[in-house]
Structure formats: C-alpha cells, structure tokens
A and B are shown apart, each in its own frame.
Chain A
C-alpha cells in the first residue's frame, strides 16, 4: 500500500530545502540537517517549546503553529521563536486572593488591553485569549481558568501584544487562584491525609509489606474491583 512520497520546497530562515510533504515542520528541519536544541521539546503538542511563525510564498499573511504539530507545505517560509522574554510576577499564593486589586498589582498591563484580538488570532491552541484577559479584568477567575486551561505557554500571544501583556503567565496565576480559593477543597482528602499523618493506616499497609508473595498473589487475584 506504500505510495511514492511527494517532495516540497520550504524555506528555513530564508534558505531553501526540499523535504517530503508528509513531514511536520520539526521533522523537516531535522531532515534538512538541523540538530535541534531550542525549539524542540515533547514533540507531541504539550510543551509549547516549538512556536513557529511562517508565511506562504506570495501571501502577506503571517501564520503560526507548533513545529511538531504542523505539516510542511510547498512554499512555506518559516522561523522558530526559541524564547520570548515575557515577565513573570512572583507571588506567595497564601498572601494573595482572587481579587482584581491583588491581580492588578501582579499584572497591571492586563488592564491596558486594547481589544485588538491579536492574541486570539495567533493562538495555536485556538484559545480565545482576549476573552480570558477580559474575564480576568472583570475578576471572573473561574471563567478565565476554564477557557485558558489548554494553554501550552508557547508565548506566541505575547509576541504579538501591542501593550505587552504576558497572557500565559497571567492565565496561570488566574488558574492557581481559582483552584486554591474558588474551587472547594476535597473534604475527604483532608480527612485521609490526617489519618495517614497520624499513623492510623500503618497497620493495614505494614501487613501487606511483610506478607509472603504467595499470599499477596492470592489477594491480588481475588481482589474486588469497583464497577
């Protein structure tokens, strides 16, 4: 069932290379001979290390993608963004609360959003970035946490923002605030950790730790499995 693979021309930082059309941008760079150091991470769309900007020959529009998740196309001019100097505010989570006043101290630039939507347009995860910035402005940390959740922190939004918002760090802070103070703690979890710390579950586990393998095997094979 194998078919012959078509080759395409791509331009890595302006230099032309001919590569198989089935490759991702990342594989194509390696095919072309690059030993990647920066701009390469999980190779599966989770880490955000391989933010890439590109343009198709003859077109003015700048496009973006993750190099490991985007297939090459004929006439693609591309460059990777290996690092972007976005600011991260440091904080003690126990000292702040999900309030606009606290947030404004950490990330005042969030409140300067012009509503241009450049961040949303550029997001390779299709997150409505500008919308979560709006939620943060309004103090709706729950909604901001929810819609920003799939962010990979690749930094493309930051690279395009005219007022220098560091969206991904603001979103992470919003999610941590939501999870710490708005979502309720798991009540039984707290009970369970207390029982462990007080040694109440030691006897049961120690009986297993010192059990013979045969006994363990029997227990394992006959254990009750929750439906």
Chain B
C-alpha cells in the first residue's frame, strides 16, 4: 500500500522546501520551552491516565491506569493446588526469568562465576525488545569523551531524577560492556583501523552511539544467545513465571513456572532469582500503539510487586517520537532514532520544521503531539489519525546517495515491503509507546528490596530517572544484567538450599485485594496480550 494520491499531493510541500532546509539547523528549545511543552503535551502529565494503586508495598502511589489494573489482579494460582514440599522440578543456584538481553547477560556472568543457572522464558529465547533495538548503544570510549560527560547527559535527560549510583554504574561500565561485546565477536560498525563509528543520539553531548547498521540490538542479542547456547546453560522456552516463591525467611527462593503449551505448572527452586522480563508496552497505556515486543506485558513487575519489591517511577513512560503512522501495517513500528541522528527532520503539513530534530525523546514527542493537536498542522491520514512527516530523503541529500541503504537497511526494507521508498519519499510518523522509564527499584548490584531477588533490564527502575536517552537501554540491560548475574552467583554460594518454600505473600496480597475490592475479576500477570477480534 503506497501513499494515496492525496498524500502524494501533500508530499509536494515537503519536496518544495527540502533544498532550502539542507544544512540548516532548527534552534534547540530553552529549558523553559522544554518544560512548557512537556507539561502541556506529554502523556505523563495527562492526569486522567493515572490512578493510585490500592494494594501492596507502594500503596497510594501513582501508576498508569492500565498498569495499576494488572498490579491489582488475582494470582493465576488462586484456584490451583501446588505441593511446594515435594521435590522441585528444577533446583538451581540462579533462576533467571526472561530470555532477552538482560537475562542472557546475567546468565553468562552468573555461569562464569560458577553458578548453576536456569533461564525460563515466556516465548523463544532471544525474542525480546533487545532484538528490536535498532539505533545503538552508548559508551564514552572516545578521546573527547569521558564517563562523566556521559553521566551528565544521562541525568540531564532523566530530568535529574536518576538514582546517582545507578547512573554512575551505567556510564562507568559502558566501555567495559562494549569491549566485552567486541571480544565476543559482535559486529559493530567500524573503520578499517578498528575504530568504532559513533554518532549522536537525542540529548548526547558527544558522538558515542555505537551501532551495528540498524540491527544493533539484534546483533547483540544473537551474539549473546549464541554464547549462552555455547555454554550449555539450561533454557526452558514458552514457560512463564507466574509467581515468585519465598522461603521461611521471606527471601526469594524460586518461582512457579507455567508451560504455555501444555498448561502445566512446575516448581523451580533457586537460591537467587533474577527478574529480567522487560517492559510493559503491550499494556497500551492510553490506547497508544507500541513499538514493543509481543511479550512486553509487565509480568515480572506484577509478580515482583506481589512478593514485596518496591517500584520507582512507575508513572513515567517513554513515548518514542518516531513511531510508524502509515502505511497502516507499520502503525506503532519503531522508526529508529538513528534516522534523525543521520539528519532526517520532522515537518508539518506545510513542509516546515517545527522542532529541533534531536531534542530528548520526551520533548521531541511532546512537540509532535502539539503540532498535531494544538496547532492543527499534522498530516491527516486515510486511517483517521494525524501524523507528521519525517524527511528521510534529506539524509541522502546531506550525506550522499546510498547512505540509507548502508546505514538504515532494516528501515528501508520495512517500508519497501509496503511500497514506500524512504530514500525518495518522507516517512509519516507519530509518537509510539516505547519504554517504561521506571520499574522495580534496584541497587547498583541489581538487588531489589526483597532479599535474594534481583531485577535487570527494563523491569528495573531508577537508572534513567524519568526519561531515558537513546542507546542507554541496550547499555543498561547488559550493565545491570551482568552485575545482577555476578552478585546473584556470589550470593548463591553463601546460601544453603532454601527451606520452607511458600506462597504466603500471594495469600496476603489476596487478602488486601479482598478488603479493597480492587481486583474485580482480573487475573495477572496477563502473559499474552489479547488481540483476537472475535
């Protein structure tokens, strides 16, 4: 489905202004202008999208309505008989829940530290948001850059709400992570002499975005996955954790696993547990389309919260400024920030730029929403929504023909499949639900507020404050995956086999739900989004 004649007519405006826009930088906003556009247009500031949670350790704190709904839900084990005294089906040092980049990194470092590791993952091993991260991974490994300069970008982008120790760990480990991946045979974009090719991302003061074409996350994920398989680490696919199990001291001691295909429950006993289940975009906050993986349904948050793990910034959600808006098959699809990094700019219906193309994601998104909602200068689409242009042909004009094919092969291919050639035609974009800035609170070693329970990756919170920069998520999943893996392995060596396995925390959570009537008939975690139409 290529652009309709009406859209092609509107596209002429973009073509008319293009030559005059080459090499011209739109002014950046002042701090006051940024604050103003955020408060008026960012979905985090829209009060009716949130409510207070009525139960659990964060009772009374604000969450998106859809997240509060899955938190306030009955356990899937409510009417299930389980014998926790019987011999467990699995008995390991470290149980990792989730098989994305954080889980795989945790597994590799826990294994290297001598721990017996089990990965349980709801879908296929490696099917995760990591696989979809296109643009890059940040690290201060150039002579004009330092971890301190990176730190300033992280906390400035995060509205100064980051937990300082977590941001410190992120930036200081970053070059170590790149080196680790390089040694593992990850195919980064490099010059002939081995120098990593790096570019800017939104909100970066230095060019520190490393990439592997625009398959950066995929390249990292397939390398990590291959290495986990090489090490012979046990992986159970299509098996979700539906509750954590605690021991007689209230420490994490395993999980109840659910085989999605046979629908059987199994008990995994573990001295330490790492939640690496990722984010929650598939809850579709405020009805937004999402760039997230099918499995991003907040499972780890739900079971961690029931076990008493505290959340932080659960009400902070990232909307990626450039989600696909048309053709309709691409709705919500991530248009990588690398596209703007290479110089594509957002334009309104008149073909005019209205915001600097590399503001931080929250500001850029808010400006796009303002252009469509308040100024009414969006491009109306046949599907009934409005969008703005993203002038990708400008990239070819600035950097030379062939740049898109070399640097953005995935984007080029995805739009070509639906008959749009982004080398010649601009894209149509609108913000898409992309990332959960907050999550379960962790220490710099990945420990949650529940003993022996670790969290890594998007499920963890505090690292990015209330707005994450591009390229810091691929980084954080590996930094904190490895840290959690190492610490959990060390901790498990000190621990005897857990005793008195129980689900008392679930019973007590149920009592709270009964007292407040908060759960209605909802059961959680939901495990899979429901898109069936009949």
Which residues of A are at the interface with B, using a C-beta cutoff of 8 A? Answer: 1-3, 22-24, 27, 30-38, 40-47, 49, 69-71, 88, 90-93, 125-126, 145, 149-150, 152-153, 172-173, 175-180, 183-190, 192-193, 196-197, 201, 204-210, 213, 216-217, 219-221, 223-226
Any A CB within 8 A of the CB of B195: yes
Across the interface, which residues of B come within 8 angstroms of A208, CB to CB? 148, 151-152, 155
9 additional contacts, CB 8 Å, given A42-B132, A204-B148, A206-B168?
A: A32-B534, A34-B532, A35-B530, A40-B294, A46-B215, A47-B126, A188-B142, A190-B179, A216-B156
- The contact string, 1 if C-beta is below 8 Å from chain A, for chain B 184-218, is 11111010111110001000011100001101011
Interface centre among B143, B147, B192, B200 (most CB of A within 10 A): B147
Any A CB within 8 A of the CB of B298: no
- Of all chain A residues, which has the CB nearest B186? A179
B152–A43 touching, CB < 8 Å: no
Any A CB within 8 A of the CB of B284: no
Across the interface, which residues of B come within 8 angstroms of A190, CB to CB? 179
B417–A2 touching, CB < 8 Å: no
A201–B382 touching, CB < 8 Å: no
* B window 412-451: CB within 8 A of A: 413-414, 417-418
Across the interface, which residues of A come within 8 angstroms of B223, CB to CB? 172, 176
What are 10 inter-chain pairs, A to B, with CB distance below 8 A? A37-B238, A41-B123, A47-B218, A175-B185, A176-B186, A183-B187, A201-B146, A205-B171, A208-B152, A209-B164
Any A CB within 8 A of the CB of B182: yes
Chain A proximity of B328: nearest CB distance (Å): 6
Chain B proximity of A8: nearest CB distance (Å): 14
Chain A proximity of B38: nearest CB distance (Å): 15
B184–A184 touching, CB < 8 Å: no
- Of all chain B residues, which has the CB nearest A152? B218
A179–B147 touching, CB < 8 Å: no
- Of all chain A residues, which has the CB nearest B181? A179
A197–B147 CA distance with the chains assembled, in angstroms: 13
Chain B proximity of A28: nearest CB distance (Å): 10
Any A CB within 8 A of the CB of B533: yes
Chain A proximity of B186: nearest CB distance (Å): 6
Across the interface, which residues of A come within 8 angstroms of B182, CB to CB? 179, 185-186, 189
Which residues of B are at the interface with A, using a C-beta cutoff of 8 A? Answer: 1, 6, 31, 123-124, 126-127, 129, 131-132, 134, 140-144, 146-149, 151-153, 155-156, 160, 164-165, 167-168, 171-172, 175-176, 178-179, 182-188, 190, 192-196, 200, 205-207, 212-213, 215, 217-219, 222-223, 226-227, 229-230, 232, 238, 260-261, 291, 293-295, 328-329, 333-334, 380-384, 409-410, 413-414, 417-418, 528, 530-534
Across the interface, which residues of A come within 8 angstroms of B147, CB to CB? 196, 201, 204-205
Chain A proximity of B109: nearest CB distance (Å): 16
Chain A proximity of B215: nearest CB distance (Å): 7
A226 and B144 in contact (CB under 8 A), knowing A175-B185, A179-B188? yes
A196–B148 CA distance with the chains assembled, in angstroms: 12
Chain B proximity of A52: nearest CB distance (Å): 14
Select which of B168, B194, B227 is within 8 A of A183 by beta carbon.
B194
A208–B195 CA distance with the chains assembled, in angstroms: 28
A226 and B261 in contact (CB under 8 A), knowing A149-B187, A188-B195? no
Across the interface, which residues of B come within 8 angstroms of A41, CB to CB? 123-124, 127, 131, 293-295
Chain B proximity of A191: nearest CB distance (Å): 9
A175–B217 CA distance with the chains assembled, in angstroms: 15
Across the interface, which residues of A come within 8 angstroms of B126, CB to CB? 47
B195–A186 touching, CB < 8 Å: yes
Across the interface, which residues of A come within 8 angstroms of B186, CB to CB? 176, 179
A45 and B127 in contact (CB under 8 A), knowing A37-B528, A92-B230, A208-B151? no
- Of all chain B residues, which has the CB nearest A204? B148
A186–B194 touching, CB < 8 Å: yes
Select which of B188, B261, B293 is within 8 A of A43 by beta carbon.
B293
A187–B194 CA distance with the chains assembled, in angstroms: 7
A120–B201 CA distance with the chains assembled, in angstroms: 35
A88 and B229 in contact (CB under 8 A), knowing A35-B530, A45-B414? yes
A184–B205 CA distance with the chains assembled, in angstroms: 27
A139–B187 CA distance with the chains assembled, in angstroms: 18
Select which of B6, B141, B152, B382 is within 8 A of A186 by beta carbon.
B141
A46 and B206 in contact (CB under 8 A), knowing A189-B141, A208-B152, A220-B156? no
Across the interface, which residues of B come within 8 angstroms of A36, CB to CB? 294, 528
Across the interface, which residues of A come within 8 angstroms of B533, CB to CB? 30-33
- Of all chain B residues, which has the CB nearest A217? B160
A2–B381 CA distance with the chains assembled, in angstroms: 8
Across the interface, which residues of B come within 8 angstroms of A27, CB to CB? 329, 531
Chain A proximity of B199: nearest CB distance (Å): 10
Across the interface, which residues of B come within 8 angstroms of A186, CB to CB? 141, 178, 182, 190, 194-196
A46–B294 CA distance with the chains assembled, in angstroms: 12
Across the interface, which residues of B come within 8 angstroms of A46, CB to CB? 131-132, 134, 215, 217-218, 410
A189–B137 CA distance with the chains assembled, in angstroms: 14
A137–B530 CA distance with the chains assembled, in angstroms: 46
A125–B222 CA distance with the chains assembled, in angstroms: 16
- Of all chain A residues, which has the CB nearest B149? A223
Across the interface, which residues of B come within 8 angstroms of A125, CB to CB? 413
Chain A proximity of B143: nearest CB distance (Å): 6
- Of all chain B residues, which has the CB nearest A41? B127
A190–B180 CA distance with the chains assembled, in angstroms: 10
A226–B152 touching, CB < 8 Å: no
A23–B291 CA distance with the chains assembled, in angstroms: 17
